[in-house]
Amino acid sequence: MSKTLFDKVWDTHVVRKIEGGPDVLFIDRHLIHEVTSPVAFLGLKSRGISVLYPDRTFATADHNTPTINQHLPVADPLSANQLDALESNSKEYGISYWGLGHQKNGIVHVVGPEYGITQPGATIVCGDSHTSTHGAFGAIAFGIGTSEVEMVLATQCIMQPKPKKMRINVNGKLGIGVTPKDVALFIISKLTTSGATGYFVEYAGDVFENMSMEGRMTVCNLSIEMGARGGMIAPDETTINYVKGREFSPKGEAWDRALAYYKTLKTDADAVFDKELTFDGSSIEPMITYGTNPGMGMGISHEIPDAAHVEGGAATYEKSLNYMGFHEGDSMLGKPVDFVFVGSCTNGRIEDFRAFTSLVKGKHKAENVTAWLVPGSHIVEAQIKEEGLLDILTEAGFALRQPGCSACLAMNDDKVPAGKYAVSTSNRNFEGRQGPGSRTMLASPLVAAAAAITGVVTDPRTLIEELV
Ligand code: SF4
């Protein structure tokens, strides 16, 4: 029987089918961090249960970590407690722990792929919604809650109802200045934040085939923002070249066996999806959000739509625009920008810093802008230095911070003050996401760069044309 990529990976991992209930899935890799694991470990301890597969579990500190002076003790007591708990639990249960100061420390969804923990055809979970990132490798990867973290620690399995399947095709040539982030924000703007609820999405078409692994990770990362359980892309030569030789990737004969498995991981020609959508990649322009959910996005040259043209209640829409201080019919171009954040598991990889640097090269940061450039890991940080990007950034008036989730969420010191506007390459623009009262505009690293040097929302294509 013909199968989709999703079916193939899911069916390979079913340990038991419960009649009329969820499937019990084996989990190949469990990534943990300081926010959702402490309570799960307390649960294990209270029941006297150990971690079944410590060697399939990896811990990194990222959400609560500072992004400057990481050699000093963490000042915030709550953050310090959570980080201490992650360290002591990891040591007690024999789990690899990559804490602050460790060479492998970084954002969980950045370091997992970098070290080859993320592999095609695997099942991967983590107590963070954006675990969908790992689907870029043809893995089934999704975020789980604290009680599920405890379940996976104890059993290496999880009970999950099988989601429906959706395929999203994007074909055609992307225009100048259009990045994977724009493709993802475009899709979410079309589907809305609930358009893929109940589905697991496969991305297909030449736009994704021609994308780097970094770009594919950005797209899959944002799947959750349209309600999907996760997103995935069939592994190909690009994937295999990325995975081969990494520290935790299979080696020798194990690699040969893995490669044979990876090559089976594609949707059969006549496999059926519950829903299929197709978009023209050449119609996408650099995107920016204007509201308080990632579905409230538009091409940067457009005007904020009227409530009559958007889904959801007019009152909610008005509340959202009021929070942002915007109005129906406004152009986003020229809107003030106070902060620029480049980083997070969405856009904290080397390709994102290359894009940002390409646009700010030879220019200077706007006086009114505070810029936080935060690599997703020490590997990214090292690449930025080795490739000479740091010199260009320094010359343009920017500084680099240390790896961590940073301003993606208001759980560490990098908070945007109330009422201030941030152009952010992260993934959520909810009220208060970057700090109480903060106002977030989600965009690509190129749009962030254009804002950082002009001090207002600017179409990056105008600056690229200047360069050409
Ligand atoms: S960068 Fe943001 S979304 Fe990603 S792991 Fe950190 S907090 Fe979660």
Nearest CA to ligand 1 atom 4: 345
The residue written with tokens 């003790």 in the block is 73
Contacts of 13 (CB under 8 A, 6+ apart): 25, 26, 27, 28, 123, 140
pLDDT tens across 211-267, in order? Answer: 999 999 999 999 999 999 999 999 999 999 999 999 999 999 999 999 999 999 999
Return the pLDDT at 310: 76
Return the pLDDT at 313: 80
Answer yes or no: is the C-beta of 371 below 6 A from any ligand 1 atom. no
> CB-based burial of residue 329 (10 Å sphere; 0-12 exposed, 13-18 middle, 19+ buried)?
exposed
pLDDT tens across 388-439, in order? Answer: 999 999 999 999 999 999 999 999 999 999 999 999 999 999 999 999 999 9
In ligand 1, the atom with minimum distance to the C-alpha of 133 is 4
Return the pLDDT at 309: 74
Nearest CA to ligand 1 atom 3: 130
Answer yes or no: is the C-beta of 63 below 6 A from any ligand 1 atom. yes
Q: How far apart are CA 448 and CA 442, in angstroms?
A: 9
Contacts of 239 (CB under 8 A, 6+ apart): 120, 136, 137, 138, 213, 233, 262
pLDDT by 10s per residue, the chain, length 468: 899 999 999 999 999 999 999 999 999 999 999 999 999 999 999 999 999 999 999 999 999 999 999 999 999 999 999 999 999 999 999 999 999 999 999 999 999 999 999 999 999 999 999 999 999 999 999 999 999 999 999 999 999 999 999 999 999 999 999 999 999 999 999 999 999 999 999 999 999 999 999 999 999 999 999 999 999 999 999 999 999 999 999 999 999 999 999 999 999 999 999 999 999 999 999 999 999 999 999 999 999 999 887 777 889 999 999 999 999 999 999 999 999 999 999 999 999 999 999 999 999 999 999 999 999 999 999 999 999 999 999 999 999 999 999 999 999 999 999 999 999 999 999 999 999 999 999 999 999 999 999 999 999 999 997 655
In ligand 1, the atom with minimum distance to the C-alpha of 128 is 8
The token pair that represents 295 in the structure block? 């579905």
The token pair that represents 356 in the structure block? 């940002």
3-state secondary structure of 335: coil
The token pair that represents 110 in the structure block? 């950045």
Return the pLDDT at 307: 87
293 within 8 A of 226, measured Cβ to Cβ: no
CA of 405 to the centre of ligand 1 (A): 5
124 within 8 A of 26, measured Cβ to Cβ: no
Answer yes or no: is the C-beta of 130 below 6 A from any ligand 1 atom. yes
CA-nearest of 447, 394, 397, 396 to 423 is 447
223 within 8 A of 196, measured Cβ to Cβ: yes
Answer yes or no: is the C-beta of 133 below 6 A from any ligand 1 atom. no
Return the pLDDT at 468: 56
Return the pLDDT at 308: 82
CA of 64 to the centre of ligand 1 (A): 10
Residue 59 phi, psi (nearest 5): -115, 130
Q: How far apart are CA 290 and CA 394, in angstroms?
A: 30
Answer yes or no: is the C-beta of 409 below 6 A from any ligand 1 atom. yes
Contacts 24+ apart (CB under 8 A), 386-393: 387/350, 387/354, 389/353, 389/354, 389/357, 392/357, 392/360, 392/361, 393/357, 393/360
CA of 51 to the centre of ligand 1 (A): 25
CA of 265 to the centre of ligand 1 (A): 28
CA-nearest of 160, 224, 30 to 108 is 30
3-state secondary structure of 159: strand
In ligand 1, the atom with minimum distance to the C-alpha of 62 is 6
Return the pLDDT at 164: 98
Return the pLDDT at 406: 97
Answer yes or no: is the C-beta of 79 below 6 A from any ligand 1 atom. no
Domains identified in the chain and CATH numbers:
5-162 (3.30.499.10), 164-236+266-283 (3.40.1060.10), 289-467 (3.30.499.10)
Q: How far is CA 284 from CA 155, 171, 179, 277, in A?
A: 44, 11, 9, 15
Answer yes or no: is the C-beta of 345 below 6 A from any ligand 1 atom. yes
The strand ranges marked E within 4-78 are: 14-17, 23-26, 29-32, 57-60
SS3 string of 279-324? EEHHHCCCEEECCCCCCCEEECCCECCCHHHCCCCHHHHHHHHHHH
